[in-house]
Amino acid sequence: MSKNQLINETHNPQLTSWVDSANLSGCDFPIQNLPFAVFTKIGSDEAFRGGVAIGDQILDLAAAKDSGEFTGLALKALEACSESELNTFMAMGKEAWSALRTALSNALVTGSSSQNILANCLVSQADAEYALPCNIGDYTDFYTSIHHATSVGKKFRPDNPLLPNYKWVPIGYHGRSSSIEISGSDFKRPKGQTKAPTATEPSFGPCKRLDYELEIGIFIGNGNALGEPVSIENAEDHVFGICIFNDWSARDIQGWEYQPLGPFLSKSFASTISPWIVTTEALAPYKTQWTRDESDPQPMPYLESSQNRTSGSFDINLQVLLETETMRNAEHAPTALAQSNFKDSYWTVAQMVAHHTVNGCNLRAGDMFGSGTQSGPKPEEAGSMLELSNAGSEPISLPNGESRTFLEDGDNVIMTGWCEKEGASRIGFGLVEAKILPAD
């Protein structure tokens, strides 16, 4: 299915909402977005339930279900969204996702007859707290940015930065889902074994080379049965949506432990996601061409399709900012460290799904993929401090006179993403942030 076939009335850039804040320039959550989260009111004893962002408000989907304004498949979807996790809704598949999106767009559009009733179903985002949007049963972290893989590889293998399989296989490893937390969940600096290059044996203590990784989180919707691969042509039908993801990394712990089986304690201490999942349907205007250099190996047939070539990439701008404790105390704004774009990935979302299931592996609703660190071709587009500081050898100068090679206690890392182009409405992903606390 081409990108144009995915565009419908919900993407019309002329649409406005009776929620006035959704119509402001630069708003992350206009009516063309309608992302999903799980929330409750701060300080209340109300249950967590599904919500959709519209401007600076949340449409309470449990309240919307009881409003009498929805029928049919959209009402069934709202019933699923009234649960404390979105897994049931995600498992319903794209027909239900699209039916609810269309119904919500019609209900929230300027002039809707539902305004008077649904206005009572709004909760200010300023009054909300969030939980993980779903039960993340399994989490796989990929390595899709060739720019990141090459940059990191050069530091360890200057003459051969990319391993032979990189251009043939969407590389990934099974991560730890239990330590994925929602934005705002501060965490302690991890401890572990490290070994200095000049030491004869390892030592134990707090990580000294703590880093962030600017990534995309990809949520699976309806899964597949064990033993039944998902074809690349159908892969995106199984993808519910995308969030912003910070996969924190302890580089010194990682350097000692990762051979021969890959990351372990260097990754499992904390990962942080943004509250809002932007659906693949909302992202349809920002699907774009995917290309592979003619001199590189071309994908094997199970990773190749004309659809993937014409519209397999997502044009998502990504940015990482740093707020140090000194900045915070002085009430200085966070400083931008880097900006990249998801469309520069070597492998697409559809290729990740097709490869993950080609051996018969079964995916389930709520499973999450990490895209791997999203770095672009330019030095200022690096998605980690490991790259920006050249493995700690070139300190990063901050506007207030501070510098960093890796993260320090009290640092707050903020990530965001947005899509923007002429002829389509700008949509955003909100923020993901967390602060580093001292080790015990």
In the chain, helix, strand, coil percent, each to 5?
25, 25, 50
Q: How many CB atoms within 10 Å of residue 106? A: 17
Q: Are 70 and 103 in contact (CB under 8 A)?
A: yes
What phi, psi does 429 have (nearest 5°)?
Answer: -110, 0
For 5, 203, 372, 384, 389, the CA distances from 147, given in Å and listed in that order, are: 32, 32, 11, 12, 15
CA distance 117 to 105: 15
3-state SS class at 175: coil
Greatest pairwise CA separation for the chain in angstroms: 74
Q: How far apart are CA 81 and CA 102, in angstroms?
A: 15
Active site residue 238: no
| DSSP state, residue 277 | B
Q: Which of 11, 147, 148, 356 is catalytic?
A: 148
Report the distance separating Cα 178 and Cα 180, nearest Å. 6
Instruction: Please state, in angstroms and rounded to a whole number, the distance separating the CA atoms of residues 266 and 127.
Output: 35
DSSP category for residue 133: S
The strand pair at 271-273 and 180-182 is best described as parallel
Strand 317-323 to strand 278-279: parallel, antiparallel, or no bridges (unpaired)?
unpaired
Find the helix packing angle between 94-108 and 72-81, rounded to 10°.
Answer: 100
Check whether the bond before 299 is cis (ω within 30° of 0): no
Integer CA distances (angstroms), 9 to 4, 156, 282, 314, in order = 12, 50, 11, 20
Measure CA 396 to chain center: 25
Give me the active site residues, please. 148
